[in-house]
Structure 1
């Protein structure tokens, strides 16, 4: 992890600032396609992405799955996905958080032939090629922290989730 992203074990302001309260979602959508379409339409309306974002993220997910199995960290941890696409489809930088009412299937990023069920999604919206790896590694570090994920599981409202994501250490 580069020093530019971490400081004494805390998320630094640049990473925290990628979360926005209006980009925290709790939804009962039931398929990957429904979630991607909803998030894509919302981001397009907000001017954060370009036309073609949803199609690109769906295509990328087929070729490079983003499901992350957190069972190796702890048996009781929910799985996550980190959908993202090429910078050319993005107008800004943000992380969109989605908490699903019920788990939906995603393919495993490490073992693409294996399916897993996912509870949380962290969409990366990024128009800067050079920062994609840092954002991804920061998110994975957060997700593989058992205490962070336990706390996230306990939160019920968008404001609570936003406050936690922007203050987690």
Structure 2
């Protein structure tokens, strides 16, 4: 599979939101307008994030790296297979995927869009492999970008 096909230049975001639900709505608005998701996507991704949080600590990857989140929902609410990177200007609190009662301040999202019910795990695995194999200094660089084009270029070259 061509990994570059799982990123789209018009589906890379830098957000100044400071509230999780508002952030997801803002991204949803753009994804819906571009035809990447269906009208019922927003309520499902918000509900899923509340029920099954997706925040991840990156401390095992490097002490200075910000935490990330990998929000996603079922494929029936999605029109295409895509990883949607989102850099956050302000940390947003997400529940921890491993310890759901613990809260994490997150600075970067990899939102997963997958139409195939079995593909969600594969996309998640690809993100985790990317994080594991990318040197800490390069991840730190990626997570500090404030330009969607820079994020897109980095990910299409390194992912």
The TM-score, its normalising length taken from structure 2, stands at 0.92
Query: What does residue 39 of structure 2 align with?
Result: 51
Q: Give the total of aligned pairs.
A: 157
Mapped to 2, the partners of 1:43 and 1:153 lie a distance apart of: 21
Mapped to 1, the partners of 2:99 and 2:86 lie a distance apart of: 23
Runs of 4 or more consecutive aligned structure 1 residues displaced over 6 Å after TM superposition:
none
Larger strand fraction of residues: 1
Query: What does residue 21 of structure 1 align with?
Result: 9
CA separation of 1:159 and 1:112: change in aligned 2, threshold 3 A: same
1:104 aligns with 2:92: yes
Query: What does residue 20 of structure 2 align with?
Result: 32
Mapped to 2, the partners of 1:148 and 1:142 lie a distance apart of: 11
Instruction: Show structure 2 runs of 5+ residues with no match.
Output: none
What is the Cα-based RMSD across aligned positions, in Å?
Answer: 1.4
Q: Quote how far apart the aligned CAs of 1:16 are.
A: 2.4
Query: What does residue 143 of structure 2 align with?
Result: 153
Mean Cα deviation higher: 88-97 or 148-157: 148-157
Q: Quote how far apart the aligned CAs of 1:99 are.
A: 0.4
SS in 1 for 2:64: coil
Query: What does residue 78 of structure 1 align with?
Result: 66
SS in 2 for 1:105: strand
Mapped to 1, the partners of 2:78 and 2:145 lie a distance apart of: 29
Aligned partner (choices 126, 129, 136) of residue 114 of structure 2: 126
Mapped to 1, the partners of 2:88 and 2:17 lie a distance apart of: 7
The TM-score, its normalising length taken from structure 1, stands at 0.87
1:66 aligns with 2:54: yes
Mapped to 2, the partners of 1:42 and 1:76 lie a distance apart of: 31
Which deviations, in whole Å up to 9, do the C-alpha atoms of 1:99-135 show, x marking residues without a partner? Answer: 0101110000000010010000111111112321111
SS in 2 for 1:159: helix
Larger helix fraction of residues: 2
